[in-house]
Amino acid sequence: ASRELNSIATQLIEDLDPLRKAFLTRSRDECLKHPPSYFTL
């Protein structure tokens, strides 16, 4: 049973990975466009 759970979890992680990468890229771009105050010191 745990092996089945492992493969399901792995599949989920692989499915979500492109989303996670896109989110990280977008938030990094947003940070560069609108830097927090500590970046502008």
- Taking only the tens place, the pLDDT of each residue in 2-36 is 899 999 999 998 989 988 888 888 888 877 776 66
- Give me the count of residues in the chain: 41
Quote the CA–CA distance of 30 and 6 in Å, as a whole number.
34
Predicted confidence (pLDDT) at residue 39 exceeds the cutoff of 70: no
Domain range summary for the chain, segments of one domain joined by +: 2-39
Chain Cα centroid distance, residue 12: 13
Identity (one letter) of the amino acid at 28? R
Give the model's pLDDT for residue 32.
77
